[in-house]
Amino acid sequence: LLKTTVITVGVIAESGDAGIKGIIAHCQSPKVVVKLSAAAREERAPKARACAVEYLSLILQTWDLNKKYLEYIDNALQTCISDADATVRNNAKACVEILSATSPTSSRDGFARVDSKLSGSAQDVMSI
């Protein structure tokens, strides 16, 4: 039986991803926002940054956050929207769309601090 069961790193990673998404969906802890925002900004691995931004978008969709925690997410997205990795940038753009839908004033205030090139692309995303 063990010879026919193949457990790969991918299977383990998908299980971990599903577990994290379940925890985010059912346990609202604001400390997670702080940790994920830091990971999205500072993590060296692009895959980890992309996952952190994806989890932040899930949090934006399901949680009611106060202004303090929205600022953490704004700061992370400002960094991620100009990331070298395309997946991180795309996840950040999707997160900006969610943020603009859930908290339009917060997203406008956050991206007012971004330089003009990035602000223009962020405004394009928010106007869609």
Rounded percentage of the chain residues whose pLDDT exceeds 90: 52
DSSP E strands, the chain: none
Residue 86's Cβ-count burial label (10 Å; 0-12, 13-18, 19+) is exposed
Q: Is 116 exposed, middle or buried (0-12, 13-18, 19+ CB in 10 A)?
A: exposed
Residue 119 has pLDDT above 80, yes or no: no
What pLDDT, on a 0 to 100 scale, did the predictor assign at position 1? 47
**Model's pTM, two decimal places?**
0.77
φ/ψ of residue 32, rounded to 5? -65, -35
